[in-house]
Amino acid sequence: MSILHAMEGSCVACGAAYRLEIADSLNVERRPALHAMLLERRLHRATCACGQEAFFERPLTYVDLGRGLIAQVFLPGQQVELDVCEGLVDHMVHHALRRPGLPPIVHHLGAHVRARAVFGLEELREKVLCLEHGLDDFVVEILKLELILSAIKLVDDGLETLRLEAVTPAGWLEFTVLRHPHPRAPLPEHLRPQRLAAPLSAYRDLLARRDDLAREQPALATRPWCSLLRERFNPHNWTDEERRAGGPGRTLP
Ligand SMILES: [Zn+2]
């Protein structure tokens, strides 16, 4: 079931009223148009007649059992409560698909579904894009790591992670560079790439070693938040300042 409700807002630029549909739950097998809206970045967005855009992050559940994905979208920033968020996803999937007493067909679905926690619609879009192209999202995260290691200077420039933007017809995975707002050693503008790319062959090489890679990165391979940023949000890796603020990206009151 997809649950949508209308929301009314007013434009921050001109004050005009607008309405848009907000989803609490998306079952894209029943509403394929919503799947397209997510990939085209039209979900939870409105454009006012004056041209001003509005975008809303809302928690929602995304279900595509046919292709094997259940994702719970949390708000960006909720990663500091990662254990709670992942516990909710574990509970949701166990209750719906894996608990004892359910019909065998449901257990079959439960054994094959990818259960994911994501933080914000852009992370959801990336997971759905992986599904679209038959990509294993864990292997995609490892590919990002290899790309980052091959361009390590970009880490001093504030590179925090990469986000899959597209898979091109020519067989390249294109990633958007996501940066920290206050880099340690910013590079000159012309040396700051917005995108990095890797060929599908590099992905396939990693896929062939998936079992070994999963043993090296057990949390990334098995926990619902399949993201390189797990390390960033691991309290063991926080700076003193981040610890005082309660996590990365938070500012002291
Ligand atoms: Zn307006």
CA 52 to ligand 1 centroid distance, Å = 5
CA 47 to ligand 1 centroid distance, Å = 8
pTM of the model: 0.91
CA 48 to ligand 1 centroid distance, Å = 5
More confident residue, 30 or 228: 228
**CA dist list (Å): 2 to 26, 59, 219:** 4, 14, 31
Of 24-38, 84-98, 124-138, 232-246, give the lowest mean pLDDT range. 232-246
Rounded (10°) CA dihedral 167, 171, 176, 177 = 150
Residues pairing with 65 in the sheet: none
pLDDT digits 0-9 by tens, 128-137: 999 999 999 9
pLDDT digits 0-9 by tens, 199-226: 999 999 999 999 999 999 999 999 999 9
CA 45 to ligand 1 centroid distance, Å = 13
- Distance between CA atoms of residues 104 and 26, nearest Å: 25
Task: Give me the count of residues in the chain.
Answer: 253
CA 49 to ligand 1 centroid distance, Å = 6
- Distance between CA atoms of residues 47 and 247, nearest Å: 33
- Distance between CA atoms of residues 27 and 1, nearest Å: 6
